[in-house]
Structure 1
């Protein structure tokens, strides 16, 4: 029995079991994109974690520790948190690649000053970052990756039963290792547009040297913006392909955390 006993017998035991199961799920939801964004109220996160925990309690024989508020029980709860956080943070890394690409492209277009509040992090981000964030979010939902990720969270209770084991150091090392894939994808997304912007800037520089009377800033900024928009339209298929592969890699990295 837990130290906090309100005298409701089996009903109270199921309640503490539900709260215990929500620990891992809640940690994964908070660390994951979409569910854990600053725009999502905490009440919604609790409801999502509770709804998933109800299904886990119905499908798996997970049991809460006998003394949940003892030292051993708190250590088990900490282990649940450490299992859930990496599974959500891996997807968070996948969602940062388009934002990094937007920083590179925005600097080349001269739109670094055009910023807006990012609803995912609550901080300032380039205007192009909002566009890329919408694209990756829509593709994430359209590909059903959120359902695959939730299935992995439920599967984690079979691979890592509560109190039976912890994620080892080699598992935690896979999370920063996935960051290299994130940076490589960001470069591949920004490369086509950056090459076109480089050509436009070289042509603008040559024209300004040939005709010194022309204002470099009055000519270069509109040319860069127009060329960047045209390049974004032309490279849209590259963006969708890279984002779909990145989402698949993110879900695969979360699945690798559950590999024996």
Structure 2
């Protein structure tokens, strides 16, 4: 009986140390992951989600056994796991930034910056950006974001196992590539609105040159507003599907494989 209890105690201690090590990475990433790390989500919900992901990921990864929690706290593992978790979450958060930038570009191009208001609980976003973010989060959540995040954590341990140190040079190169990719995606998502605004301004300039007495601003303002709304209605499903495909592709190899 005593031997069984001793074995159970040893197993419980090993499971606790493994769970704590995994929680360091998962908990840090949960502050930035889309949907789970939004400012409107209560802290208790974030903590519960972090514990749930820890329980899912811990049995699927190989974690070196530590002697005690104090040993983990005094080692490099504590710092490195938190940095890797924040890096993982930052890579996902860039997809939300891409939607915000794309919405800002589209809104400024089509004069829709003040038609839709942003939520007072989050940072104010101009016009279409708020719609893009909310629709993107809803689409990602209904497409199995929780499963993809869990698998992304597992894949991250294959590239950066416990105890690995993320070098400053590699982190900078990865961060620059991800930021540039996010801005490229934002411009691609906003390109229909930018092209429409360019055509509108060229046409307005031609009409103004042909009929200087016509107040083209009064004629063109309703046209660009209506055109922007129609373009938003027609293009948003396709644009968000492209964004979701890019997000899922990134989740398959969160650190580049």
Q: Same fold (TM over 0.5)?
A: yes
Q: Which residue matches 2:38? A: 37
CA 1:158–1:196 in 2, change beyond 3 Å: closer, same or farther? closer
Unpaired stretches in structure 1, ≥5 consecutive residues: 1-8
Deviations 1:209-240 (A, max 9, x none): 55555444433321111111122233345414
CA 1:191–1:59 in 2, change beyond 3 Å: closer, same or farther? closer
Q: Which residue matches 2:49? A: 48
Whether the aligned pair in 1 keeps the contact of 2:66 and 2:72 (CA below 8 Å) is no
Q: Which residue matches 1:254? A: 254
Structure 2 length normalisation: TM-score?
A: 0.80
Q: SS in structure 1 opposite 2:112?
A: coil
Deviations 1:128-175 (A, max 9, x none): 011111332233234434412211213434554433x22234542223
Whether the aligned pair in 2 keeps the contact of 1:185 and 1:242 (CA below 8 Å) is no
CA 1:167–1:43 in 2, change beyond 3 Å: closer, same or farther? same
Structure 1 length normalisation: TM-score?
A: 0.79
User: Following the alignment from structure 1 to structure 2, what is the Cα–Cα distance between the partners of residues 225 and 197?
Assistant: 10
Tell me whether 1:141 sits opposite 2:141 in the alignment. yes
Cα displacement (A) at 1:185: 1.8
Q: Which residue matches 1:77? A: 78
* 24-33 vs 172-181, greater mean Cα deviation: 172-181
Q: Which residue matches 1:102? A: 103
Q: Which residue matches 1:126? A: 126
User: Following the alignment from structure 1 to structure 2, what is the Cα–Cα distance between the partners of residues 237 and 14?
Assistant: 44
RMSD of equivalent CA atoms: 3.0
User: Following the alignment from structure 1 to structure 2, what is the Cα–Cα distance between the partners of residues 231 and 47?
Assistant: 40
Cα displacement (A) at 1:82: 1.3
CA 1:103–1:194 in 2, change beyond 3 Å: closer, same or farther? same
Unpaired stretches in structure 2, ≥5 consecutive residues: 1-8
User: Following the alignment from structure 1 to structure 2, what is the Cα–Cα distance between the partners of residues 115 and 74?
Assistant: 50
CA 1:210–1:155 in 2, change beyond 3 Å: closer, same or farther? closer
* 59-68 vs 198-207, greater mean Cα deviation: 59-68
User: Following the alignment from structure 1 to structure 2, what is the Cα–Cα distance between the partners of residues 59 and 203?
Assistant: 59
Q: Which residue matches 1:235? A: 235
Aligned length: 247
CA 1:46–1:241 in 2, change beyond 3 Å: closer, same or farther? closer
User: Following the alignment from structure 1 to structure 2, what is the Cα–Cα distance between the partners of residues 58 and 193?
Assistant: 47
Q: Which residue matches 1:93? A: 94
* 237-246 vs 177-186, greater mean Cα deviation: 237-246
Q: Which residue matches 1:166? A: 165
